[in-house]
Amino acid sequence: MHHALFFHGETLHCLPSGALYWPARKLLAVSDLHLGKSERLARRGGMLLPPYETQATLDKLDRDLEGTQAEAVICLGDSFDDLAAAEGIEEAARLWLTRLMAGRNWTWITGNHDPGPIEIGGSHRAELKLQPFTFRHIAEPGERAEISGHYHPKASLAGQTRPCFLADAARLILPAYGVYTGGLRAHDPALTALMAKDALAVLTGPRVLAIPMPR
């Protein structure tokens, strides 16, 4: 249950969860987990949401790691909702995350929400180059073979809106992986300016489906 993309000479799997798997490297990439979002909203006087999204997101990640047997993980930024969310993550969630990281080459890419290096292990980078790809949080115009996140793209089909991957010959943008994250519609000018006219939207969910990117 995935959509295979042939991207710059490599086969990548767009998974139903919104994760990206690179079989040749046994590498799983996820973006925008936003762990601790419900706590941050409550702390700043925003919407009150049930405080279960951190564990739900970690459960989803656990299933993807088990299903792929990935040996390396790249989190493409905004993994925590802010500095206080990173520092205040519940002990049970911290232990769960530590278990997921154990024995794996784990990289945290810095995002616009991220606090920078945190005392939770793994390596911390602004971007990561693994030939032929560059992994970063926010897409940069003019780049090629780029894999990024940040925009939380989503698209609609038959009246249902789902998070989606966006892909063209130059770049691949991942959907948000966190269960409480919102999204930006694929036809938003910020995305149509980045993506080529023949770009695809790969919708996540029970049935992974590639459609022309809505404009």
Taking only the tens place, the pLDDT of each residue in 22-42 is 999 999 999 999 886 544 444
Six-digit token string for 85? 């969310």
HSE (side-chain half, CA atoms, 13 Å) at 36: 23
Determine the 3-state secondary structure of 127 from DSSP.
Answer: strand
At 192, the amino acid letter reads T
The full set of domain ranges for the chain reads: 3-212
Structure confidence at residue 117 (pLDDT): 53
Would you say 53 and 38 are in contact if contact means Cβ atoms under 8 Å apart? yes
Structure confidence at residue 48 (pLDDT): 41
Band of residue 120 on the pLDDT scale cut at 50, 70, 90? confident
How far apart are alpha carbons 190 and 95 in whole angstroms? Answer: 38
Query: Average of pLDDT values for 114-124?
Result: 74
Taking only the tens place, the pLDDT of each residue in 31-78 is 999 886 544 444 444 444 445 678 889 999 999 999 999 999 999 998
Six-digit token string for 171? 């770049």
Domain 3-212 coded CATH 3.60.21: yes
All residues at 6 or more sequence positions from 67 whose CB lies less than 8 Å from its CB, including other chains:
none
Model pTM score: 0.90
Determine the 3-state secondary structure of 198 from DSSP.
Answer: coil
Six-digit token string for 68? 């792929």
